Amino acid sequence: MGSRMDREIGRFHSLEILELGAHSAILDGGDWGRLSIDRRLCPDTVRPGDSLEVFSYLNSSGQPAVTTEKPAAQLGEVAWVEVVEVNDLGAFVDWGLPRDLFVPFAEQQHLLKKGGHTLVMVYLDNQGRLTGSTRVDHWIDDSSAALSQGQKVSLIVAERTELGYKAIINHQCWGLLYSNELYQRVRKGQVLTGFVQRIRSDGRIDLSLNQPGFNKTKIDRVSAKILERLEDNDGFLPLTDKSPPREIYAVFGVSKKVFKQAIGALYKQRIITLDADGIRTI
């Protein structure tokens, strides 16, 4: 299968099984040659000619090797990992493979301590070995021409700022989640699904955990829930458009923005009044 080497160390590849032995399987590694993998790492159902999804790395001898075990991140990606050892050369972090990922002192934003956790970018050092860096700012851009408003993206929460939380978008660029728009607790290293809320004139990206835009069906659904809750509470609900986002999310499971749109729709229909201490049915 594809003997031309367009493959890279540190990524997942689909390789053809050439032979199956009692203790190992032989895979077609293209320019890497024949690669052996422990039979125990292969599904019982595989046969010669089948493809196997594997992760590529360099073994202790500096030769290409593969495994079906999945690391927390592949080349060019960021992951939240635990520091398992610190020695005179640097630190080692657990990234999901038997061989821990090395983070040299020069690539540590702050000195790592055993038992701590950190964000790590996986890169290749000058000898082609997979290595980790906590200096993620060196690898992550401030903007991306590949993103568009409303786009669904993968996020990794990086750090808290005065306005909210910086997050890494698709392992490539920075974005910002504003604290006053968050309806759930977030923590450093957390992986979330988010949306590009807006792209500012300087190219920087504002993020949201809610899909942007007015969704009438969603608003109608929330409005119905509000009316049900009002009926169960004698026509009063101690929530307003000034209530903290987390209180609103705890009751209705939606963002403050969606809640405000829903009560606004009910108010325009003269179904509720908006008072300082809450909302009431008319």
d(CA 239, CA 218): 19
Look at residue 174 in the predicted model and tell me its pLDDT.
97
Task: Indicate where the chain has its CATH 2.40.50.140 domain(s).
Answer: 78-138, 152-208
CATH architecture for the domain at 12-67: Beta Barrel (2.40)
Look at residue 12 in the predicted model and tell me its pLDDT.
95
Look at residue 251 in the predicted model and tell me its pLDDT.
86
pTM flag (> 0.85): no
Look at residue 216 in the predicted model and tell me its pLDDT.
63
3 alpha carbon, distance to own chain's centre: 33
CATH architecture for the domain at 216-281: Orthogonal Bundle (1.10)
Look at residue 224 in the predicted model and tell me its pLDDT.
86
Task: Indicate where the chain has its CATH 1.10.10.10 domain(s).
Answer: 216-281
| Residue where the block lists tokens 């019982």 | 44
Which residues make Cβ contacts (< 8 Å) with residue 174, sequence separation at least 6? 140, 141, 142, 158, 166, 167, 168, 204, 205
Q: Tell whether domain 78-138 is in CATH 1.10.1740.10.
A: no
Look at residue 134 in the predicted model and tell me its pLDDT.
97
Which stretches of the chain score pLDDT less than 70? 1-6, 212-218
d(CA 274, CA 20): 71
Look at residue 2 in the predicted model and tell me its pLDDT.
38
Helix (H), strand (E) at residue 164: strand 164-169
d(CA 272, CA 241): 13
Amino acid, single-letter form, for residue 22? A
Q: Give the CATH fold of the 152-208 domain.
A: OB fold (Dihydrolipoamide Acetyltransferase, E2P) (2.40.50)
Look at residue 1 in the predicted model and tell me its pLDDT.
37
Length in residues, the chain: 282
Look at residue 167 in the predicted model and tell me its pLDDT.
97
